[in-house]
Copies of this chain bind each other. A is one copy, B any other.
């Protein structure tokens, strides 16, 4: 169950799809973060995840983190691995130098995040949640809060959590009931129960900084009355040292389908007089801040989908190389061969590979937009990039995770009966992946975001801009004229046209007939995610053809480019080609959905 970080593919995406060297050139903040840095960082990260974090994945699943009397003991090896993660400075990778971080672009950070998650989703969740807490504090925290908490969060010595969900408030945060009472000194007492809090309690760090949504007494109902608080597990003294235990307890952890290595906690705030909490930003703007944090987290969950696809793929490839069964269908060998030679096994492995490469390309491309958004000196370019990035976040979260359900299932399938045996390890990915389409907003919630904020709000402008860029790529494919480029052109054109039809449908009907649009919102997300991933594969195909025409004798080498072209062509023929059928179901399929009487289910 060894894992090899896909460093080369990541570097290719950075270099040619995200144009990292141009980013370094154009954006002073990233002047030192070109390909050379990327290469060094990724190689170092690969060493860590391969040697330290991946090997404890299976055991963490078999013997999960445990709870006893409010204390959570992380799965075996996790504490030690986390120590190495902190010592390597990995938590601070994308965070400001001002607080001890390394100021690297998300374009690099996202790739490291993928590796880490491919190695061990349960483990990687802890730093991922800390990232979210850092993001929220950076966005809205007072200087006092920042100075107090950020250095230790950025170093990873303390970890962070996001406390949103309550039993009655899952997708609908308007229903949050946790409350906060001002005590007069600017701080609050926080009361309430939060569920599904990932790594809400553990023994890997000295302190845990909970970011908690709660209502201040007298706040308006609904989402406009929710505030965000910092509630540390241990109070922090003025000198930065750890003080008394705060009034927050982990009362239980969940027995889950997957990501068993991570503790998913029920946290009880304020049972003994109230947990000390500190307002982040202004009262009643909590949801707004949380969304910033959540957008980062949603992108990161999308990356988890890519990661588990990659891991499942590698696992399946290894098995398919070793397992000998049946003669080739073409009679070329008169004896059983390794199953990797059978066309259906190749089809399954290529589906996994093409999905991993396509979604990775989309995510890394999007990360570069985020970096431009945040640090490009030209405000127009930054704003354009922001709009593109925000359009892509629900695709990355939704499409990369939904497809991971298919890929991890194929991963089990490649193993045949052995896949169903837990000792084989393939089943873990299938179980782990299922949370990805749920947490940080289900796919339906992502689709609502895509429809409402990302498509309807600007009248489909960004969607159409992306379609225009895709059309340019189609022009390049037509110029190439190779067999692979023609195949890609056919699928990409059909997919883009279908996308445009759906965008028009969404823009024109969301207000007048919202049920019609939302009956197809998830299919719209899947269509768009497939298209944007396919578009990046098309770009990768063109670049690879160009590099091969130039000889291909660079760090990647001709074989890399040839494989990229074949994988892109597979994506075109077998995955991107599904788009028009999805478009059809969106445009035609809402009638039956909405006509069906709910009492009749």
Interface residues of A (CB under 8 A from B): 165, 168, 170-172, 174-175, 195-196, 254-258, 317, 320-321, 324-326, 329-331, 336, 338, 340-347, 349-350, 353, 405, 409, 412-413, 416-417, 419-423, 427, 430-431, 434-435, 437-439, 442-444, 447-448, 483-484, 487, 514-515, 518-523, 559, 562-563, 566-567, 569-570, 572-574, 577-581, 584-585, 588-598, 600-601
Q: Across the interface, do A170 and B417 meet the contact criterion of CB distance under 8 Å?
A: yes
* Residue among A514, A559, A573 with most chain B CB within 10 A: A573
Whether A566 and B596, one on each chain, are in contact in the complex, defined by CB atoms closer than 8 angstroms, is yes
Nearest Cβ in chain B — how far from A306, in angstroms?
Answer: 17
Contacts of A419 in B (CB 8 A): 257, 434, 438
Residues of B with C-beta under 8 A to A427: 257, 434
Interface of A, helix, strand, loop or mixed by DSSP? helix
| B350 engages A593 (CB within 8 Å) | yes
Alpha-carbon separation in the docked complex, A533 to B227 (Å)? 52
Chain B residues with Cβ below 8 Å from A447 are 344
Once bound together, how far apart are the Cα atoms of A573 and B595, in whole Å?
13
What's the nearest-Cβ distance from chain B to residue A324, in Å? 8
Contact B442 A413 (CB under 8 A): yes
Contacts A254-B421, A350-B593, A420-B438 aside, 6 further interface pairs with beta carbons under 8 A come to A170-B325, A257-B430, A342-B518, A343-B594, A345-B444, A416-B438
Count copies of this chain in the complex.
2
A165→B338 CA distance, assembly (Å): 18
* B592 & A570 in contact (Cβ 8 Å cutoff): yes
Best-surrounded residue of A170, A413, A519, A593 (most CB of chain B within 10 A): A593
CB < 8 Å neighbour of A589 from B165, B563, B573: B573
CB–CB B343/A597 < 8 A:
no
Structural contact, A413 and B563, CB atoms closer than 8 A: no
A518 and B257 in contact, given A413-B438, A580-B581 (Cβ under 8 angstroms): no
Q: Chain B residues with Cβ under 8 A from A563's Cβ? A: 596-597, 600
Chain B, residue nearest A581 (CB): B581
A341: chain B residues at CB < 8 Å are: 598
Q: Is the CB of B566 within 8 A of A585?
A: no
Q: Are A413 and B437 in contact (CB under 8 A)?
A: yes
| A-B pairs with lowest CB-CB distance, top 5 | A573-B589, A570-B592, A343-B519, A581-B581, A569-B592
Find out whether the CB atom of B412 lies under 8 angstroms from the CB atom of A434: yes
